[in-house]
Amino acid sequence: MLIAGFMTLITIPSIEANLDIAGLTWADVGIEPFIFYLRSILTFLWALLGIIGGIILIVGKNIGGFLALLGGILGIAGNFIIVGTLTIYESIPIPLSTSFLLIDPILIALGGLLGLIMKK
């Protein structure tokens, strides 16, 4: 998810360049660039919750499982919350967070759940 958040930051200049070539602005396509910054910050935050939770679990504290589970659940929920629609040729919904086919947040949530279930 960290890579997905970074890739979201990289796409902002690319989208701006494409809009510039087409002679359009962000307002013409009906979206603000702030939404892309919000997506990448939230994706980073949820990924860091999973990583920090995993590190705390390795140390032996059960709170790490809760953090990883929370990061995974928020990542999954964020992929279904639509915050805007990018309309250039067709309407593309923009979710609150970004990941690769929900695999990352599901694995983080599963790891947090297994960390809670399998106590030492």
Angle (CA) 81-18-78 rounded to 5° is: 10
Q: Where are the beta strands (DSSP E) in the chain?
A: 82-87, 91-95
Backbone torsion region of residue 69, taken as left when φ is above 0, otherwise alpha when ψ lies between -120 and 50, otherwise beta: alpha
The pLDDT value recorded for residue 24 is 87
Residue whose pair of structure tokens reads 């929920």 in the numeric block: 77
**Straight-line distance from the first to the last Cα atom of the chain, in angstroms, rounded to the nearest whole number:** 28
Who contacts 58 (Cβ-Cβ below 8 Å, separation ≥6)?
64
Measured between alpha carbons, how far is residue 34 from residues 37, 39, 67, 81, 105 in Å? 5, 9, 27, 16, 23
Q: Does the structure show a pLDDT above 80 at 88?
A: no
> What is the reported pTM?
0.84
* pLDDT, tens only, 55-84: 998 898 889 999 999 999 999 999 999 998
Q: How many CB atoms lie within 10 A of CB 55?
A: 13
Q: What mean pLDDT comes out for the span 87-106?
A: 85
Tell me the helix, strand and coil percentages in the chain, rounded to 5.
Answer: 70, 10, 20
* pLDDT, tens only, 4-61: 888 988 988 998 999 899 898 888 888 888 998 999 999 999 999 999 999 998 898 8
